[in-house]
């Protein structure tokens, strides 16, 4: 069974950073890209960026450059996203989603992880 298990919800202080994880199981991790998507409260979906673990290549939405850093650990089949210099605008649910390489469709999604930025 394909599963993307995301790390738990986070409460963080303004100005801090947070690193969340997305552990993949049930498939070959390097056969897929991993996307990250933001959903602000009551809002739609916003693409943050993508990492291709096979070649360790990243692609970012310009809006999130400097805010998000995507990494992947092939030895543990885990993708990570670190968000830095957090503000209230970063309070949202964040999803990871895999894409079979070259298909341009996110065919499996994590359950989402909530980040709340508050003092």
Partner 1 sequence: DIQMTQTPSSMPASLGERVTISCRASQGISNYLNWYQQKPDGTIKPLIYYTSNLQSGVPSRFSGSGSGTDYSLTISSLEPEDFAMYYCQQYDSSPLTFGSGTKLEIK
Q: Which residues bind partner 1 (CB under 8 A)?
A: 35, 43-47, 59, 61-63, 93, 95, 97, 103-107, 109, 111-112
Determine the Cα angle at 117 with ends 83 and 111, to 5°. Answer: 65
Min separation Cβ 110 and partner 1, Å: 9
Give the residue from 109, 30, 110 showing the smallest Cα distance to 76: 30
Min separation Cβ 112 and partner 1, Å: 5
C-beta of residue 45 within 8 angstroms of C-beta of residue 37: yes
Min separation Cβ 24 and partner 1, Å: 16
Of 31 and 73, the one with the shorter C-beta distance to partner 1 is: 31
Of 13 and 63, the one with the shorter C-beta distance to partner 1 is: 63
Of 42 and 119, the one with the shorter C-beta distance to partner 1 is: 42
Min separation Cβ 84 and partner 1, Å: 19
* 3-state percent breakdown (helix, strand, coil) of the chain, nearest 5: 10, 55, 40
Give the residue from 88, 44, 85 showing the smallest Cα distance to 68: 85
């Amino acid at each position: 069974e394909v599963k993307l298990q995301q790390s738990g919800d986070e409460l963080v202080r303004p100005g801090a950073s947070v690193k969340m994880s997305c552990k993949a199981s049930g498939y070959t991790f390097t056969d897929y890209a991993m996307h990250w998507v933001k959903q602000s409260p009551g809002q739609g979906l916003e693409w943050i960026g993508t990492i291709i673990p096979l070649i360790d290549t990243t692609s970012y939405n310009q809006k999130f450059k400097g805010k998000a850093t995507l990494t992947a650990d092939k030895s543990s089949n885990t993708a990570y996203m670190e968000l830095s210099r957090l503000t209230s605008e970063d309070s949202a649910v964040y999803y990871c989603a895999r894409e079979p390489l070259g298909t341009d469709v996110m065919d499996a999604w994590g359950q989402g992880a909530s980040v709340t930025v508050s003092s």
